A and B are shown apart, each in its own frame.
Chain A
Amino acid sequence: MSLFVEIFTTSLTPMVFLYMAIGVLSGICIGALPGLTATMGVALLLPMTFGMDAAQGILMLLGIYCGAIYGGSISAVLLHTPGTPASAATAIDGYALSQKGEAGRALGTATLSSYIGGLVSVACLWLISPLLAKLALKFSSAEFFLLAVFGLCIIGNISGEDVEKGLICGCIGVLVACVGIDSVTSYIRFSPEGNYNFMGGINYIPIMIGLFAMSQAFENIESIFEEEEVQAKLTNILPKKEDLKKIIRIAPLTGLIGTFIGIIPGAGADIGSFVGYNVARSIAKEPELFGKGSVEAISGPEGGNNGVTGGAMIPMLTLGVPGDAVTAIMIGALTIQGLTPGPMLFSTNKVLVYTIFLGMFIANTLMCLFGFAGIRLFTKVLSVPKVILTPAIFVLCIIGSYAMKNSLFDVWVMLIAGVVGYFLAKVKVPTSPAILGLILGPMAEKNFRTALLKSGGDPSVFVGSVIAWFFIFLIFISLFGGKIKALLFQKKN
């Protein structure tokens, strides 16, 4: 009880509420605009948090995250263009309902389902995180190394059809993270002599801004003269009793599934959304309506994608492993505040951790309130001309990457990452693995070498505990699970 008193008296101040509200509002606007993703929003607005304290900064970013994932459904319903990849599944039936003149009903369903999915994920965050953190305290360097390798192996599962392209991108991320002073031996790697910018290592925040925001802005430039108009009228936003029953049946379940998808490193809200859609279809009372404007088909993906938000926070806070690209940026935000995400955070910064939990609940509630109260206003955001917005994004990318270390070198890194990201997208290379590589690469290397240092060079340290074997099993499943399943399926047929 005293913890909650402390949270409300020291951390959850009116200013924090204000920042959270700003975060949710800007997140909904960012998500609603096609071409601006949740990752881009968080990356762009991260520099704004540099001057704030840890709770203010993280909760504002969380607000953006929750708001943007929900906001994507607005353009998905009204324009048939998902505002974020996480709303691609919502666009199918949301737009179909909108074409029938029931855009308000579709948006109301999306709002409530997102809220329920978010709440389920917050509940899981509260229940699972402390237990996982307690368990993680027992991890030695060897186990952390295997955990990081498992995270890197997941790259294959999030790379779509071309696994090798995802792995290539992940490897490049790991190699970029090798630049600079080696943390174990202090040897300077891959740095031109006397260049302090390289010696300090390449910061991954400008790379993220480049890969997710700048490259996306370049893509927007390709179709900058194409503007879409919103013509749908919004009525009956509050769900009726029959829709409410359907939402309550579907959204908590897909929210729970989304949460577990979020826990898997690298699996994001887009996957949660499509899995949510499929689950909703399998348990729907009217599956024949899917694709023609079904409330259940909107509720499923919206519950699923907002479920991912809390799920992705679990490995980030407890293990220091990002659940998705957005939480990877949040690791950066915590690091800037001098905090190291991981099990120790629960003992050294308990108040902050529980403030984040409570803040996530408040952010979801604000999202729901703003969603129902201001939906007509948010549809106006869709009218913001891309021709003005895109040049403004360029400036935010530039100053955002400069603000990190007040270094123009970082701005160059951002621009180069943006150009590289643009061309990688052309050859269908996913860029999220690079971020996993940048964060998990150093974690894997450091723990690998520390484990060997402690064991005097004995490699059996990596198979010396039950937890280590558990991670080896997970690595095996993530690498060969798909192949084994396909082989078994082939034999069966």
Chain B
Amino acid sequence: MKKGNLVLAAVCAVLGVGVIAVASGYPKAADYGTGVPGPGLWPIAISIVLLACTAILIYRTLRMNPEKDTKIDLWTTGTRRVYLTMGILFLYLLVLPFLGFIISTFVLELIFIQWFAKKNPIITVVISAAITMVVYCAFRFVLNVPVHTFGIFTI
């Protein structure tokens, strides 16, 4: 948990400092002459709160009792499965605009269901096609969501 907390603190510190640096360059209250704070004040104020919380997190983490320091497993069979799933989904989003909803979603479902359910490939194809077409028809024809406007081979 200690390592995880410190990584979180580092990310938040970078975010907080980054926001302050960018927002400091925004117009100030005087530039508007209405007494209203400029667009940078609010993000800067929130970033200061964020940095204060980050400092408290670092302080509490460093003083954490060793028995409270539970291990976070980021490299188990389960988590590796999650990372691979995330990778497949990122890849899916990359090809989605080119292949269109039907083909890319059908392939996505095919991969996941065959991987997880390990069923007869014909059953996997049927289930994947069914999920894809039910979702496509429900959103395209019932809810009028234009899922057919991008990619090839869409109907």
Contacts and interface: CB of A to CB of B under 8 A. Distances in A.
A387 B112 CA distance: 8
B10 interface: no
Interface in A167-188: 167-168, 171-172, 174-175, 178, 182, 184-185, 187
Given A452-B35, A452-B37, A168 B53 contact: yes
Interface string A279-293: 000000000000000
Interface in B123-155: 127, 131-132, 135, 138-139, 142-147, 149-150
A403 B46 CA distance: 31
A170 B82 CA distance: 26
Given A167-B53, A391-B108, A445 B143 contact: no
A182 B109 contact: no
B131 A175 contact: no
Contact of A426 (B37, B72, B116, B147): B72
A408 B82 contact: no
Interface string B66-84: 0000001010101101100
Given A171-B50, A189-B43, A411-B93, A221 B143 contact: no
Interface stretch (A46-54, A100-108, A238-246, A255-263): A46-54
Contact of B139 (A399, A428, A441): A399
B15 interface: yes
Nearest to B118: A387
B1 A185 contact: no
Main SS of chain B's interface residues?
Answer: helix
Contacts of A455: 35
Contacts, number: 173
A457 interface: yes
B93 A408 contact: yes
Interface residues of A, number: 62
B131 A168 contact: no
Contact of A222 (B15, B36, B81, B139): B81
Interface in A125-182: 162, 164-165, 167-168, 171-172, 174-175, 178, 182
A456 B35 CA distance: 5
Interface string A443-461: 0010011001101111000
A223 interface: yes
A390 interface: yes
B39 A184 contact: yes
Interface of A: 47-48, 50-51, 162, 164-165, 167-168, 171-172, 174-175, 178, 182, 184-185, 187, 189-190, 218-219, 221-225, 385-388, 390-392, 394-396, 398-399, 402-403, 406, 408, 411-412, 415, 419, 422, 426-429, 441, 445, 448-449, 452-453, 455-458
Interface of B: 1, 4-5, 7-8, 12, 15, 19, 22-23, 26-27, 29, 32, 34-40, 42-43, 46-47, 49-50, 53-54, 56-57, 60, 72, 74, 76, 78-79, 81-82, 85-86, 89-90, 92-93, 96-97, 101, 105, 108-109, 112-113, 116-117, 127, 131-132, 135, 138-139, 142-147, 149-150
